[in-house]
Amino acid sequence: MQSFTATRCALAVLAVLVLSGSTALAQHHGSQPAHRDEHAPGSKADQRLGDPYPLDTCPVSDKRLGSMGDPAIKLYDGREIRFCCPACFGKFEKDKAASLSKLDDRIVQDQGSLYPLKSSVVTGKDLPEKPYQFVYGNRLVRLGAESEKADFLKEPKKSLEELDKAAIAQQGKNYPLAKCPVSGDPYGGEMGKPLDIVIAGRLIRLCCDGCQKDLEKDPAKFIAVVDAARKGDKSKPDHDHKEKHDK
C-alpha cells in the first residue's frame, strides 16, 4: 500500500514538472509581451520592405552620411531610413508624419524622371496627367487614383517586381557602364551573366551576386556612379572592394 501511494505521489510530481515545462516552452515560443519593441530581432518590423535608403544625406541634419561615422539605420514599418547619428532618431520622430512627408517629397523629386511605366502597376490602365503617387519602401509608385492603393498594399512585392522589370527593360537598352560599378570587372566572361538590381528607380548592373552586399551597404554611392555615367562621366569603381573581390 505504501509502495502504491509513493508511486502515485511520484507520478503526480512528474506531471507537475512536465506541465510546468510545457507551459514555459509555450510562453517562450508563442506568447507575446504586453509591449513589443517593433525593432526587436525576429519581429516583422525588423525586415526591410522595398529598397534600402537611397539618399546620401541624413533626413534630419542634411549632413552627408558617413561624415560622422557609420550611418545609424532604423526601420519605420519596414521602411529603412539612415541618419548621420542616433541623436537624429528623436528629432525625426517628434513629428514622424511631417518628417516622412518631407522625405517622400525628396524621393519623388529624385525618382520622378526615371519612372518606367505610363500605366498603373495595379490596373494596367494608362496613368492620368496627374497620377496619384506615393512612396513605398523608398520607391516611387504611381497609380491611376488613390483608391488603387489598397489593392497595391495587398501584394506590394508583386507590384514592385513589375516596376523592376519595367526599369530593367527601359534602362538596360542603353546602360552606360561596361563594367560593374562595385568591382570594376567587365560583365560576362568568367563572372557569368550580370545581375540586374533596381534601387531608387535606377538599374544597377553588377558583375555577380557577390557585389550585392556592398551595393546595399552604401547604395547612394553606386547610384551616384550610375547617374554620373548616364550624364557622360565614367566614374571609377570602388577600388577597395575590387581588391577584396579579386581575392
pLDDT per residue as tens digits for the range 119-176 = 999 999 999 999 999 999 999 999 999 999 999 999 999 999 999 999 999 999 999 9
* pLDDT tens column, 55-88: 999 999 999 999 999 999 999 999 999 999 999 9
One domain, residues 166 and 183 = no
Nearest partner of 202 among 36, 85, 51, 76, judged by Cα: 51
In this structure, the answer to whether residues 165 and 133 fall within a common structural domain is yes
End-to-end CA distance of the chain: 77
Q: How many domains does the chain have?
A: 3
Query: Beta 132-136 vs 139-143: how paired, if at all?
Result: antiparallel
> Do both 166 and 185 map to the same domain?
no
Residue 27 inside a domain? The answer is: no
Same domain flag for 191 and 242:
yes
C-alpha cell at 95: 513629428
- pLDDT given for residue 50 in this prediction: 94
Domain that holds residue 192: 174-247
Query: From CA 180, how far away is CA 178, in angstroms rounded?
Result: 7
- The whole-model pTM stands at 0.76
Q: Are 215 and 178 in the same domain?
A: yes
Is 79 inside any structural domain?
A: yes
Please indicate, yes or no, whether residues 155 and 190 belong to a single structural domain of this protein: no
Same domain, 164 and 142: yes
Q: What are the backbone angles phi and psi of residue 195, rounded to the nearest 5°?
A: -105, 120
The DSSP code sequence of 162-198 is: HHHHHHHHHHHTT-S-SB-TTT-PBSSGGG-S-EEEE
Residue 71 lies in a domain: yes
Q: Which residues contact 215 (CB under 8 A, 6 or more apart)?
A: 182, 197, 199, 204, 206, 222
Rounded to an integer, the average pLDDT of 193-206 is 96
d(CA 162, CA 117): 9
DSSP state of 140: E
Judge whether residue 212 has pLDDT over 80. yes
Query: Quick one: pLDDT at residue 235?
Result: 52
Q: What percent of the chain has pLDDT over 70?
A: 76
Residue 233's pLDDT is 64
